Amino acid sequence: CYRKGGYHAVRVGDTFSGGRYVAQRKLGWGQFSTVWLAYDTQTSKYVALKIQKSAPEFAQSALHEIQVLSTLTENDPENKKCVIRLLDHFKHTGPNGQHLCMVLEFLGDSILQLIRYNRYKGLPLNKVREICKCILTALDYIHRELNILHTDLKPENILLISTINPSKDPIKSKTEPVLNKVEGNVNGGVALNAIEKKLKQRAKRAVARISARRISMGGVKAEKAERCVDGIDFRCKVVDFGNACWASAPMAEEIQTRQYRAPEVVLQSGYSFAVDMWSFACTAFELATGEMMFAPKPGQGFSEDEDHLALMMELLGKIPRKIAVGGLRSKEYFDRYGDLKRIRRIKNTPLNRLLSDKFKLSVNDAREFADFLIPILDFAPENRPTAEQCLKHPWLNKTPESGIDKVDGVG
Ligand code: ADP
Ligand code: MG
């Protein structure tokens, strides 16, 4: 919706902030924004330019995001906390109104794309560990030091750190209008004149160059990426703080993306930092297996929420009665004994069994990984370990050479 109050239509070569940033290509988009790769002519570096829709409600949420991101960046001067950095922000006036723009450090693909490149088979456990350490470092930082909840943690919002800084031949400025997108086609079917064609080719070359240098990032074929998965230094950062809030001022009742939503949010029993820990465990499982831990669907005679609660109990055992009946929405789903009203006969498969039987982890790996995850999936949020506690867990600090792996199959 490139209209009043909507997205700002960007063309390759468009400039922002008095000519400082030059748009190169589109990186992605969300509900409220489009994100562009841009060249910063002042620092000669690439950045990600997040351009918010212009309507007042979007501007409001962008201001909030800027406030959170500034806090994250200011309190991490050494850039060690695995969270996205805000480099600059400004207002840009276009035909659809005034847009708040955030200049972010340029990162690579999300770990969801990584899972896709790996054909949903799951990543090797030593890679999962590295990614888990980054996520937990970020969570420990925002929870313990800043009192901030992310509330939308999921593979899509964990981006790999880009190993490239393409410094040669960026598109420096616009000479003629070109198609909005290099891949895909937002403007649709417009005949290209000679200059547009030339610019488009140039943009394509730039994309190709970037792709060639990126390891397992946009534009790389699956097989190639699959071979790459082993060679990547798996450092990543947590992004998208658009829904983050201070623990002292929770914003919405319904938070988190469905599949990563904690039981206390489904039941509306109040929430805090432990919701991010739940999403973290779901994310770690997905990294290791390539499949979502919980993918609820509404069915005949029951809702998506009820299916979700049933799936949780299949994997984690029965929700303790006190917790089951303790939320604002409990009465809709549970009887007074703490049994689901509309879904009966729940068959429990313990996590370690699922990991070894369905996902073919060795018995030892499955047990150790489950031992790490199960406490984080406690139905009682106050019993879940904090990010700080998780960081000390032996599973995270285990290396393949530590000997524990080699015992597998012997004992
Ligand atoms: P929204 O808040 O509108 O959902 P996001 O912050 O999630 O926007 O960004 C939308 C998409 O843009 C992301 O899914 C990702 O593909 C891309 N993106 C966002 N930030 C960056 C960045 N710093 N570097 C590279 N790509 C990014
Ligand atoms: Mg998003």
* Complex ipTM more than 0.95, yes or no: yes
Residue 153's identity, in one-letter code, is L
Of 351, 350, 276, 346, residue with least CA distance to 306: 346
**Ligand at shortest distance from the CA of 84:** 1
Candidate of 63, 89, 239, 257 to mutate for ligand 1, largest count of ligand atoms within 8 Å of Cβ: 239
DSSP calls for 174-236: -SS---S-SSS-SS-SPPP-HHHHHHHHHHHHHHHHHHHHSSS-TT--HHHHHHHHTT----E
Helix 363-373 vs helix 274-289: angle between axes, to the nearest 10 degrees? 160
Tell me how far the alpha carbon of residue 63 lies from the centroid of ligand 2, in angstroms: 16
Q: Which residues line ligand 1 (CB under 6 A)?
A: 27-33, 35, 48, 50, 84, 104-107, 156, 159, 239-240, 242
The residue nearest atom 1 of ligand 1, judged by CA position, is 30
Ligand 1: residue whose CA is nearest its atom 25: 107
Beta bridge partners of 236: 160
So what's the pLDDT on residue 403? Answer: 46
Whether 14 is catalytic: no
CA distances from 206 to 36, 43, 203 (A): 14, 19, 5
3-class secondary structure, 330: helix
Residue in the block written with tokens 């082993």: 230
Q: What pLDDT does residue 401 have?
A: 57
152, 240, 365, 378: the active-site residue: 152
d(C-alpha 260, C-alpha 273), whole Å: 14
Residues pairing with 47 in the sheet? 38, 105
The pTM of the full predicted model, rounded to 2 decimals, is 0.84
3-state secondary structure of 251: coil
Q: What is the DSSP letter of 142?
A: I
Q: Which residues hold their Cβ within 5 A of ligand 2, which is an ion? A: 30, 240
Q: In this predicted structure, what is the pLDDT of residue 95?
A: 87
Query: Which pLDDT does position 169 carry in this prediction?
Result: 73
For residue 334, the CA-to-ligand 2 centroid distance in Å is 33
* C-alpha 156 to ligand 2 mean position (Å): 7
Which of helix, strand or coil describes residue 25?
A: strand
CA–CA separation, 211 and 203 (whole Å):
12
> Which of 10, 50, 110 most suits a substitution to test ligand 1, by most atoms within 8 Å of the C-beta?
50
Specify the residue with its C-alpha closest to ligand 1, atom 15.
28
Q: What angle do CA 206, 209, 213 make, to 5 degrees?
A: 140
Per-residue pLDDT of the chain (411 residues; tens, 9 = 90+): 566 767 778 999 999 999 999 999 999 888 889 999 999 999 999 999 999 998 888 999 999 999 999 999 999 999 999 999 999 999 999 888 899 999 999 999 999 999 998 888 999 999 999 999 999 999 999 999 999 999 999 999 999 997 665 545 788 766 433 333 333 322 222 233 444 455 456 545 544 444 433 433 444 444 444 444 554 597 999 999 999 999 999 889 999 999 999 999 999 999 999 999 999 999 999 999 999 999 999 999 999 999 999 999 999 999 999 999 999 999 999 999 999 999 998 999 999 999 999 999 999 999 999 999 999 999 999 999 999 999 999 999 987 655 444 444 332
Decide the pairing of beta strands 86-94 and 97-105: antiparallel
CA of 322 to the centre of ligand 1 (A): 40
Residues in contact with 78: Cβ distance below 8 Å, sequence separation at least 6, in sequence order: none
CB-CB contact of 350 with 370 (8 Å)? yes
- 111: helix, strand or coil: helix
How long a stretch of residues is the chain? 411
Q: At what angle do helices 125-140 and 274-289 cross, to 10 degrees?
A: 160
- Please tell me the distance from the alpha carbon of residue 347 to that of residue 377, in angstroms, as a whole number: 18
Q: Quick one: pLDDT at residue 49?
A: 97
